[in-house]
Amino acid sequence: MFIHLLAGSLVFFIFGKAFDLEITRTFLVAGAFWGIVPDPISYVLSWAVKFNKWAHTHRDNFSHSVFMPIIVLVLAIILDSKTAIAASIAMLTHPFLDLSGIGWGVKLFYPLSKKTYKMFYNGRILTVWNQEEVDAEAGKFGDDDWVKNIYFKPNIVGASEWLSLAGFLLLVAVH
Ligand SMILES: [Zn+2]
């Protein structure tokens, strides 16, 4: 979750440096917004906010598809806005981070393919699941207390999440 804020703001930071744009706090926060926006969009599209082991179902729609940032990019080309290209890239970091982060992966090519892609799971580099397999996996290995267990107990994923939040806040604070 927090890693999306850091990734989005970093994309804007690098983009700003590369194109000599003024890197302000608003600019960096805008980057963080584009990094995390697939999540609120997916909650709106699925109309299901679940903090139990079925939390992954929020990703089962267009919001986490690689085609979403492509739409933003097409709009960017029409509107001829440099920042919109950065927004598209920031947005694209989201499904790719969700490939290997918390949960069971993402439907990268929705709606063309409804397969769920998951990286680095059970010793395999890439796992491709259909919906029944994802649901079976979540039913068997899902954690109804994942918010507490990931964010409030010592573990690597939780630590990288809090470090990402700290990194994002620091990046904004120094600008
Ligand atoms: Zn997500």
Tens digit of pLDDT per residue, the chain (175 long)? 899 999 999 999 999 999 999 999 999 999 999 999 998 888 888 776 677 777 777 677 888 898 888 888 888 777 777 788 898 999 999 999 999 878 889 999 998 999 999 999 989 999 999 989 988 988 888 888 888 888 889 988 899 999 999 999 999 999 9
What is the CA(58)–ligand 1 centre distance, in A? 8
d(CA 63, CA 43): 9
Q: Phi-psi category of 118—alpha, beta or left, where left has phi over 0 and alpha has psi -120 to 50?
A: beta
Give me the residue spans of the domains in the chain: 2-173
What is the CA(99)–ligand 1 centre distance, in A? 9
What are the Cα distances from residue 59, in Å, to 4, 77, 81, 102, 151? 15, 27, 28, 12, 20
Whether 115 and 124 have beta carbons less than 8 Å apart is answered as no
Reported pTM: 0.84
What is the CA(96)–ligand 1 centre distance, in A? 9
Give the count of beta carbons closer than 10 Å to the beta carbon of residue 63. 24
What is the CA(39)–ligand 1 centre distance, in A? 5
d(CA 166, CA 2): 9
What is the CA(36)–ligand 1 centre distance, in A? 7
Q: Is residue 139 helix, strand or coil?
A: helix
What is the CA(8)–ligand 1 centre distance, in A? 13
What is the CA(37)–ligand 1 centre distance, in A? 8
Q: Report the pLDDT value the prediction gives residue 125, as an integer from 0 to 100.
A: 94
For CA atoms 29, 171, 83, 21, give the dihedral sign: positive
What is the CA(20)–ligand 1 centre distance, in A? 30
What is the CA(106)–ligand 1 centre distance, in A? 8
Q: Report the pLDDT value the prediction gives residue 124, as an integer from 0 to 100.
A: 92
What is the CA(1)–ligand 1 centre distance, in A? 7
48-76 pLDDT, tens digit per residue, is 667 777 777 767 788 889 888 888 888 87
